[in-house]
Structure 1
Amino acid sequence: MIAAVLVRFAYLAVSHAFAALWLLRMTDREKDVEILALRHQLAVLQRQLGGQRPRLRPEDRALFAALLVPLASATLRRLRLLASPDTVLRWHRDLMKRRHARMCVNRRPGRPHTVASIRQLVLRLATDNPSWGYRRIHGELALLGVAIAASTVWEILKTAGVDPAPRRTTVTWADFLRSQAEAILAMDSIETVTLNGQRQYVLAAIHHASRRVRIVGTTAHPTHAWVTQAIRNLLMDLEDTGHLAQIKFLIRDRDAKYPALIDKILGAVGITTVPTGLRMPRMNSITERWVRTLRTELLDRTLIWNQTHLRHALREYERHYNGHRTHRSLAAAAPLRARPRPLEPDQIERLTVDRRDHLGGVIHEYHRAA
């Protein structure tokens, strides 16, 4: 409907534009004669209608409004028109209202949408600094030269499901582990049974930041004396490798195998023991995940004959885990091996790979051929 009206109005506007060009070649006397003739025709039509008002189409009203509104009101009243001057002015007002309404529909209501990069920056600041409220983030953005209202920061955080109020000051256990990874050593014990029916206990420790694993020892009788000596051996290993100074926390469970003496031994070198909560293995999640990996990749796939065989298998797996196996948390590097530089296209075409088997083929390692 609207499209048809616009098409008809355009047709009328173009036809009258050509008519206006035709008037340019007419003299004033000719124009006066034509005006008198048209007025007489209008009077005849009004007399024939018998007082009935002619029906005008929307495009006719729009054309009348566009042509006649620029004239003064007194001039409009002197003209002999099919509609009164007030009606023509009302048509013009309706035309302007419809035009304004179309412009408002195309505009987006409310304030303009915040740029995506600013929204990402707000969420990044909130993630990196859990204790910051929305006003603290607003101040940091001001220092960066980002002009944004504090209420907008609040809305961005609220929409993303982040509490904008400063009640996020409590540090979660996961945040603590990430922030203190360089200073955390975690420990756990693993149980396994050899083919001769003997139950063996493996004590292992893992560094959170580097993911380096140390097999502290294996025994069939984890007495307090054995555990204490194993802790001393671990501290000597850390001192020999130069890592003892950076370790400040040791996470372990509340197993009765750990004597109270080890807390004093660790405290003497500046390491604080952090016991996990009751039935809360997630507090030692990195070690628990490594235990699962050890069982999946070694213990569940190998027939362990006795304690000697177990120690040999654990030494081989420790070497493989620290020196070759990739880690997602280390961007595909190994704890003791950096990720190599990517090969060039021509090197990839000439690439030859050799496989090295360990522990009877349980562990496969792939290396570039020399």
Structure 2
Amino acid sequence: MLVIVLFLCGFGGFLLGNQYGHYRRLSPLLPWYLSAFPPRPITVIQWFHRQIQLIWHYKSVAGKCRGRPLTPVYVEDWILTIHRENPGYSCRRIAALLRHDLKRPIDKNNVARILKKHGFSPPPSDRSRRYQQEPTWRTFLNNHNVCGMDFKTTFDIYCRQVFILNIVDHHRRRLIWSRATYNPTAQWIAQQLREAFPFDDAQGRIMVMDRDTAFSHVAKHTLPGFGMQVRRTSYRSPWQNGVVERFNRTLQEELLDYLVPLGLRHLNQRLTEYRHFYNTARPHMTNGGDPPVISDGNAANDSNMSQEPERYRLKSVQWVGGLHHSYRLNAA
């Protein structure tokens, strides 16, 4: 009877040891060794306990999918659609569009993995920040009443230099105003400020600007007349007005690089369209992936899609003549 028990324990340990890689050390205990080298009773007890553990381990994991849940097929289709329509969008931006527009949170690394699986080369990751501001400047610039303005230059179809005045709110990076001119006089700048801050919107705000001579008159007379405080940056210190400087780069990369202005009217129309897209549809990392202005349409897009999202059809909304896109879900 004892020989039969030892045989079953040894043979069972041999089979389970081959089924589970971390128990392969049981496989050398072949039955014919038991007559010449009988194991100790504690060894037989350990074999029994290990077999019980293996049996319950197998029962607990059998038929279950281990690891993170797979990304649904319809989400992969959304990612591929966004990438085809916007090949320059980074994985972080595609993930932000899915989180904000389509209410489907996903990690940027999963987006890169899906694009690579389907043969697309993901754009390079976002560059790290090259500089950091002092704590006092960071506190100052993040104040919700602070905004900054600066000029961005470009050229029209006749190679004439065009000056674009941009005013950006520091709190949620809202683009307050963007307008172009050939001759940025003090009178023209003052008129743009009146249109950008109608009524009493400028009261109590702080305006950050550089030491361009075109701003001298408005800094001394126009802005104080609006009830705004003026903070001018140091000489050759563009990082002190980094919010507007960063927007100028975004404007260049997302609009001006793909546009040949036919004149002021044409450029100002495109700037107005881009301002609407930038404020209501473009995701911003500073706002957690949300645009600066959250409209009622964005809130309505979140209704009744959590039950069966695969029944909804992906709809793209074109901005700036199809240069950029935002996405919504419609019932199929």
Q: TM-score range by the shorter chain?
A: 0.5 to 0.7
Does residue 367 of structure 1 match 2:328? yes
Once the two structures are aligned, what percentage of the paired residues are identical? 27
Runs of 5+ consecutive residues of structure 2 not aligned to the other structure: 1-133
Structure 2 CA distance for aligned equivalents of residues 175 and 342 of structure 1: 37
C-alpha deviations, 1:309-341, integer Å up to 9, x for none? Answer: 101110110000011111111111111116745
Cα distance in 1 between the residues matched to 2:220 and 2:180: 21
Q: Where do residues 2-151 of structure 1 align in structure 2 (5 Å cutoff)?
A: none
How far does the alpha carbon of each residue in 1:252-278 deviate from its partner, in whole angstroms, 9 at most, with x for none? 111111132443222123211100111
CA contact (8 A) 1:357 1:364 kept: yes
Which of 295, 298, 307 is residue 346 of structure 1 equivalent to?
Answer: 307
Shift of 1:216: 4.4
How far apart, CA to CA, are the structure 2 residues paired with 1:258 and 1:243? 20
- Amino acid corresponding to residue 317 of structure 2 in structure 1: R
**Cα drift, residue 342 of structure 1:** 8.5
Larger radius of gyration: 1
**Structure 1: 5+ residue runs without aligned partners?**
1-169
- String of CA shifts for 1:130-178, please: whole Å, max 9, x gaps: xxxxxxxxxxxxxxxxxxxxxxxxxxxxxxxxxxxxxxxx962112223
The TM-score, its normalising length taken from structure 2, stands at 0.54
- How many matched pairs? 194
With over 3 angstroms needed to count, the CA separation of the structure-2 counterparts of 1:360 and 1:216, relative to structure 1, is: closer
- 2:190 aligned residue (219, 228, 234): 228
Counterparts in 2 of 1:283 and 1:210: CA distance versus 1, 3 Å: same
- Give the Cα–Cα distance (whole angstroms) in 2 for the partners of residues 228 and 262 of structure 1: 10
SS in 2 for 1:335: coil
Tell me the SS of whatever aligns to 2:138: helix
CA RMSD of aligned residues (A): 2.2
Residues 342/286 of structure 1: CA separation in 2 closer, same or farther (3 Å cut): farther
Q: Distance in 2 between matches of 1:329 and 1:268?
A: 32
Shift of 1:182: 1.1
Equivalence map 1:207-286=2 (5 Å): 207-236=169-198, 239=199, 243-245=201-203, 247-286=204-243
Q: Aligned pair in 2 of structure 1 residues 282, 261: CA closer, same or farther (>3 Å)?
A: closer
SS in 2 for 1:332: coil
Query: Given that residues 202 and 215 in structure 1 are in contact (C-alpha distance below 8 angstroms), is that contact kept between their aligned partners in structure 2?
Result: no
Matched AA of 2:327: Y
SS at match of 1:305: coil
- Helix, strand or coil for the counterpart of 2:236? coil
**Quick check: 2:178–2:275 contact (8 Å CA) kept in 1?**
no
Higher relative contact order, chain-length normalized (CA < 8 Å, sep 6+)? 2
SS in 1 for 2:293: coil
Q: In structure 1, which of residues 318, 331, 336 is the aligned counterpart of residue 288 of structure 2? A: 331
Q: Are 1:228 and 1:262, in contact at CA under 8 Å, matched by a contact in 2?
A: no
Kept after mapping to 2: 8 A contact 1:194/1:305: yes
What amino acid sits opposite 1:186 in the alignment? G
Native 8 Å contact 1:185 1:206 kept in 2:
yes
Specify the SS of the correspondent of 1:277.
coil
Equivalent residues of 2:277, 2:319 under 8 A apart: no
Please identify, of 296-305 and 255-264, the stretch whose mean Cα deviation from structure 2 is larger: 255-264
Structure holding more helix per residue = 1
Question: AA paired with 1:349?
Answer: E
Specify the alignment match of 1:356 in structure 2. Answer: 317
Counterpart for residue 122 of structure 2? none
Q: 1:296 maps to what in 2?
A: 253
1:300 partner SS: helix
Deviations 1:11-67 (A, max 9, x none): xxxxxxxxxxxxxxxxxxxxxxxxxxxxxxxxxxxxxxxxxxxxxxxxxxxxxxxxx
CA distance in 1, matches of 2:195, 2:251: 22
CA 174–369 in structure 1, closer or farther in 2 if over 3 Å, else same: same
Runs of 4+ in 1 over 4 A off after TM superposition: 338-345
Does residue 196 (structure 1) correspond to residue 155 (structure 2)? The answer is no
Cα distance in 1 between the residues matched to 2:201 and 2:173: 13
